[in-house]
Amino acid sequence: MRCERCNQVINESEAREHLGQTLCEDCYLDALSPVRTCDPWAVHSAKTYEKHSGGSGELTPIQSRILSILKETGGIEPAALHALLGAELTESDLQRELAALRHMEKARAQKNSRGIIWRPW
């Protein structure tokens, strides 16, 4: 049989019943522990990361390049920005960097008559 949560193969003797699910010992303990359920550690590390990446102003080289283009142009369409950055970045990479910059409150998207443009925050 398998644990219904982590899919690990378990012996009948190791199996635990929890809310109608068959779980391995680890998942059972996990399920019983309210601390683990809301996963404060994940939230904590996300916040620490945010503080680190936002507060210190540390940017990756590509993020600083994007930012300086945004500042030079005062606002640019994603496609034009992508063209300026060249082939080293795929479009989805660029989207991810822009999302990170927005998260750090360094850049933001603004809608104009022609579509979305990215500007410094």
Q: Which of 27, 81, 101, 107 binds Zn ion (CB under 5 A)?
A: 27
CA-closest candidate to residue 4, choices 19, 20, 23: 23
| One-letter-per-residue 3-state SS of the chain | CECCCCCCECCCCCCEEECCEEECHHHHHHHHCHHHHHCHHHHHHHHHHHHHHHHCCCCCHHHHHHHHHHHHHCCECHHHHHHHHHHHCCHHHHHHHHHHHHHCCCEEEEEECCEEEEEEC
Q: Which is nearer to Zn ion, 37 or 48 (CB)?
A: 37
Does residue 117 interact with Zn ion by CB under 5 A?
no
Does residue 104 interact with Zn ion by CB under 5 A?
no
Closest separation in Å from C-beta 2 to Zn ion: 8
Closest separation in Å from C-beta 43 to Zn ion: 23
Closest separation in Å from C-beta 25 to Zn ion: 8
Does residue 79 interact with Zn ion by CB under 5 A?
no
Q: Which is nearer to Zn ion, 3 or 67 (CB)?
A: 3
Q: Which of 5, 16, 18, 119 binds Zn ion (CB under 5 A)?
A: 5
Binding site for Zn ion (CB under 5 A): 3, 5-6, 8, 24, 27
